[in-house]
Every structure is written in structure tokens, then in C-alpha cells.
Amino acid sequence: MGDVRMMLATTVRRPAVLWVAFVLVHAWLGFVGLTHPTLPWGDVTRQYSTWVQNALAGDVVGVSEPWVYPLVALVPMLAAMVLGPELYGVGWLLVVVVTNAVVLSYLLARTGPGARFGALRITAAWWWIGFMLFLGPVALGRIDVTTVAIAIIALLVAQHRPAVAGAMLALATWIKVWPAVLVAAMVVAIRRRASAAISFVATGVVIGLVVLLVGSGVNSLGFISQQSSRGLQIEAPISTVWMWIAFFDPAAASVKYIQSINTFQVLGSGVDTASAVMTPLLVISSAALLALGALVARSGARPAHLLAPLSLAIVVGLLVFNKVGSPQFVLWIAAPVVLGIVSQGRRFLAPAVLALVIAAVTQIIYPFGYDALLVLQPGMLLVLTLRNAALVVLFAISVRMVWRLRRHPVSSRPRHDPLERQFT
């Protein structure tokens, strides 16, 4: 039995095995996304494809009209047209495979026999591939996949190359806004925070100027108004209350399809108030977490230990206090967890395992159980409730991990933390 375990352990450490798993997982998720009757990649093959074809015809979203995404999000969408409009979904899969292959290549770049932390990088790579598999086709079938790929590498290089990390996250923010919170976490957690902040701002301004030069004008910020005007999407944690109310009393609450933004929202007494409160609450929670991180950092916590749990807490907070709650948002969790596995190993076991559970349950909800959820089937309502409760638990775990780091007094901190250079 011991020989079998050793053989398996040796096998899973081989980069070739990881690459095979990578290809198989992407092929499977692409196949399900493009062929399943529930159309998990409908956003890609219908919405993204339409935006791209209109852009090629001269009607560019984000330029001629406000858009739900920052303008740079159109770049990977345009790249997916490589095989033409009839094979747009396959073209998107190729773009995603290339993007994620860069991440895997980086993770495996320093995993040789003499490489420090090489085993942890391989573990992180396996976790990341498994996480995408558990999350299902939505893990590849949304624009979020590009931002998460950039964020993973940015967090891994943050300690030693903060300027590079800041620039990468600025680019990711111009695709979708959420990576900006990772820069805030870096500014709190790492020592060379000024380099990260200056690089983020400078790169963001340069990209913004380019966006203005193509003629976007005020439409370049249209994604702000597009998002702020949304109601409570049915998957959001806060919406769980009204989903159960709708089940027990259909006259008091209901589910409605909003065609203009292609999503389902809850309606009922108190929904408008809750919707108005959620965005400020999200901002307040993020600010409070950054303040906690600053307090812990000043107490002497090691930057290499602080960045991962602080980033995780803020990212999960974006999900817990979000009024949208789309299933692809769960993919954001991958970036801080990969960093946590690489930097802390077993100490990040609990959030890593819980994140896998959240991903798997999310796939049950979407795409496979979504129709049942729309008709308020009690079994699916229970699954949704458990998933959202798990998000709250993961949030609490990550906040606790941040808080516990304050036990390291400044006097006991080594002058040169050996973990500071592990990501290079």
C-alpha cells in the first residue's frame, strides 16, 4: 500500500499529468457549456457574439452606448471571433484555454527538484483545476475567467514585483471592476505598497486615456450606472429571504425575469430598500476589512501571511454583500485561495476545501438546477440556502484568519521574512 501511495504521489507531481488534467477539464467544461440544453454558455454564444459582431459593424458597446462592462472587456470577446461567428463558442474556448495555460505555466515554472515551495505550487495548480471542474461550465463561460487568470498571477508576484502586480490588476479592473479590491488589499498588506498603488493608478489612467481616445466619452463609465441600477438577483445571499417568502406566500414575493439585463430578480415588500442598502453595505464591509488588515499589519503580521486571507475576506465579502450574486462570481475566490495554498500550505486547508464545496454546490444551482430554482422547488431552495450559508462561513473563516495574525508582535518578526521571496 505504501508503494502505491508513493507512486500516486509521484504521478500527480508530474507537470505532464497536470497538463493532461488541464486539457481534459477545459474540454469537458467547453463541451457541456456549448451543448447542454440549459445553454450554460448562452452569454458567450448569444450576448458576447452579438456585441462583437455589432462592434465589427461599427456599433461598439461602451463607445456608442453605455455598457455593463469596462471597455477592455471587449478585447477577449473580439479575440474569440478568430474562428468566425458560426464557431464563436469554440473560439471563446480557445481564448480561455490560452489564458489559463499562461497561469498554469507560471505555477509550474518553478516546481523542479531544487525549487522552494514547488510542491505547494503543484498543489495549488491541482486545486485550481479541480475548482474549475467543480464550478462547472460557468467557470469558463464568462468574461470573469480572464480577470481571475490575471489576478492569480498578480497576487503571486505582489510581494516581490508590486509594480507588475499593480499594472496587471489595473488591466483586469478595466475588464471587470472587482480586481480593484485586490490592489487595496496589497496596499494594506505588502511592504512596497507605494509601488503597487502608483503602478495601478498610472496604468489605469493610461488605459482610460486610450479608451477616451477611441471616442467612448462618458460611456466609458457606463458600467457604473448599469450595475448600480440593478435589483436583487435571485442567487444573491440577501435574496434568499425573499425566495423563501415567495415559496410560502406567492402574493408577498415573486421571481421576475428582467429582459433588459437578462437576469431573474426577486420582487416583494422591502426588496427596493434592501437593494438600495446592499451597495453601501458592500463598500462599508470592504473598508472595515481593510481597516482590520491595516491594524493587523501594524501589529507585526508578516506580509506574506496577511495578503492571502485579507484578499480572500474582501473577495468573499463582495459575494456575501452583493445584490447580484451571479454564479460566475464564485470564480473570483480562486485567486486568493491559490495564493493562500502557495504561501501557507496546510494553514489554508479549511478555506480551500470549503471553496471547493461552494463551487460544487453552485454548479448544482447553475446550470443544472436553475429551472427548478425559478419555480421555487423546495429542494433547490435548500441547496441555494446552504450555498449562501457556506459563503457566510467562508467569510467568517477568512476574517478570523486575518484577526489571528495580529498575535505576531513586531518585536518577534524576523528582519527578513523568508516567505517574502517565495513567489518569484
Please report, rounded to a whole number, the percentage of residues in the chain having pLDDT higher than 90: 78
Element counts in the chain: helices (H) and strands (E): 19, 2
Q: What is the pLDDT of residue 112?
A: 52
Instruction: Report which of residues 296 and 228 the model is more confident about.
Output: 296
Please report, rounded to a whole number, the percentage of residues in the chain having pLDDT higher than 70: 90
Domain interval for residue 304: 2-421
Which of 19-28, 65-74, 133-142, 232-241 has the least mean pLDDT? Answer: 65-74
**Three-class DSSP category at 61:** strand
The CA-based diameter of the chain, rounded to the nearest angstrom, is 66
Q: What is the pLDDT of residue 172?
A: 98
CB 313 within 8 A of CB 395: yes
For the cut 70, the answer to whether the pLDDT of residue 409 exceeds it is no
Query: In this structure, what C-alpha cell is assigned to residue 108?
Result: 509550474
Task: Count CA within 13 A, CB hemisphere, residue 227.
Answer: 17
Of the pLDDT bands very low, low, confident and very high (cuts 50, 70, 90), residue 162 is very high
- Which amino acid type is present at position 111? T
Angstrom distances, CA of residue 241 to CA of 117, 234, 285, 367, 401: 44, 10, 20, 22, 29
Tell the residue number behind the cell numbers 421571481, with chain if given. 255
What helix, strand, coil percent values describe the chain, rounded to 5?
A: 75, 5, 20
CB 218 within 8 A of CB 62: no
**Dihedral Cα 397, 319, 349, 168, nearest 10 deg:** -120
Q: What is the pLDDT of residue 303?
A: 86
* Bridge pairing between strands 253-258 and 263-268: antiparallel
For the cut 80, the answer to whether the pLDDT of residue 418 exceeds it is no
Angstrom distances, CA of residue 198 to CA of 155, 192, 195, 276: 16, 11, 5, 33
Q: What is the pLDDT of residue 224?
A: 75
- Which amino acid type is present at position 329? F
Dump pLDDT digits (tens) for 230-285: 889 999 999 999 999 999 999 999 999 988 778 899 999 999 999 999 989 999 99
Of the pLDDT bands very low, low, confident and very high (cuts 50, 70, 90), residue 309 is very high
Dump pLDDT digits (tens) for 118-140: 889 999 999 999 999 999 999 99
CB 104 within 8 A of CB 34: no
Q: What is the pLDDT of residue 228?
A: 63
Q: What is the pLDDT of residue 222?
A: 75
- Alpha carbon 387 to chain centroid, angstroms: 16
Per the structure, the count of domains in the chain is 1
Query: In this structure, what C-alpha cell is assigned to residue 37?
Result: 440544453
DSSP structural state of residue 75: H
Query: In this structure, what C-alpha cell is assigned to residue 78?
Result: 473580439
For residue 97, count CB atoms less than 10 angstroms from its CB and return exposed for 0-12, middle for 13-18, buried for 19 or more. Answer: middle
**Three-class DSSP category at 258:** strand
Report how far apart the first and last C-alpha atoms of the chain are (Å, whole number).
37
Dump pLDDT digits (tens) for 342-401: 999 999 999 999 999 999 999 999 999 999 999 999 999 999 999 999 999 999 999 999
DSSP structural state of residue 231: -
Tell the residue number behind the cell numbers 486568493, with chain if given. 336
State the average pLDDT over residues 196-225. Answer: 87
Rounded CA gap, 335 and 330, in Å?
11
State the average pLDDT over residues 297-317. Answer: 94
Q: What is the pLDDT of residue 5?
A: 58
Of the pLDDT bands very low, low, confident and very high (cuts 50, 70, 90), residue 115 is low
User: Per this entry, what is the length of the chain?
Assistant: 424
